[in-house]
Amino acid sequence: MTEDKDDLRSELKESKAEIERLGGVSSLWKGHWLVELVQRSFRNYSERATAEYFKQKYPSQSNEAIAKKLTKVACKNAAWLGGLTGLAVSADEIVAVATGGEGGVGLPANLAIFATAAFTEAYVLVKIQVQLVANLSKLYGAPLDPDDPEDIHTILEYAFGGVVSEYLGTLTAKAAKGATKGAVRKYLSGETLQTIQKLARRIGVKLLQRTVLKYTLPAVSVLAGSSWNYYATKAVGKRAEGGFSKRATIDAASAND
């Protein structure tokens, strides 16, 4: 994990190109992008991150202390990302207001720039948060397989907790109609890739909606982007650290039995 604004600018540029290859910002509204991005990002970050590296970098410190350091770095990166996007969006909106759609800088063009900046930010923020989950997974020796539907669900739950809970609540309600509690549990526990893809599509659209809302007021877009990203990423670290710590404790107890 790096704390370099230039690296974030490069990541934004690369992610913008990735979005264009996917079909542009309009294609993101379909929500199909999230599963592929999460799988690819988690796999890449897991391969590059090792528990040994973290132990060597922070000798004599507990997993909990190292987890807090990793979360802090991710939060800073997320906050810088929000600030950079907020500046870009504010400048663009100011130009749109100043020109009033005249002088060759029309409002439709500026709205397109706004959408591209906001959606690219959402795309990069997902990478930052998935990277944090991957690092904490390695730190606690709790490997996850991004090709396994149940493990993808775990990654999504840690990275996007609130939206996942909301979707599962709806899913449970639908499954419960005319069914026994046992049937509901069986339905929810039998996770398939199709179920995960539906969940990811819902999350993807929610992420884009929230990102647009962050930057709708030019005067506060920088602060809103930075602070929301910071605390959202902090929550990711807390969920993942708690989950992996509990899993490590259970595994250790099972090994001693």
Per residue in 156-191, pLDDT tens?
989 988 666 555 555 444 544 544 445 544 544 455
67 found inside a domain: yes
What local confidence, expressed as pLDDT, does residue 102 receive?
A: 43
The structural domain count of the chain equals 1
- Find which of 26-30, 143-147, 216-220 is predicted with most confidence, using mean pLDDT: 143-147
Contact assessment for residue 227 and residue 82, using Cβ atoms and an 8 Å cutoff: yes
176 closest CA partner among 160, 188, 190, 158: 188
Q: Is residue 256 part of a domain?
A: no
Q: Is residue 251 assigned to a domain?
A: no
- How many Å from the N-terminal Cα to the C-terminal Cα in the chain? 37
> Does residue 252 belong to any structural domain of this protein?
no
**For residues 187 and 27, which has the higher predicted lDDT (pLDDT)?**
27
Average pLDDT, integer, range 228-254: 88
Residue 136 belongs to what domain range? 5-246
Q: Where are the alpha helices (DSSP H) in the chain?
A: 5-22, 25-28, 33-48, 51-57, 63-99, 107-139, 149-159, 161-176, 181-189, 193-214, 221-256
**Would residue 196 count as lying in a domain?**
yes
Nearest to 241 by CA among 123, 69, 44: 69
Return the higher-pLDDT residue of 13 and 89.
13
Rg (CA), the chain: 20
pLDDT, residue 47, reads 86
Average pLDDT on 87-106 reads: 52
Residue 69 falls inside a structural domain: yes
Quick one: average pLDDT of 83-108? 56
Q: Is residue 84 within 8 Å of 91, Cβ to Cβ? A: no
Domain membership of residue 253 (yes or no) is no
- Please state the rounded mean pLDDT for residues 51-78: 89
- 20-27: long-range contacts (C-beta < 8 A, 24 or more apart)? 25/112, 25/115, 25/116, 25/119
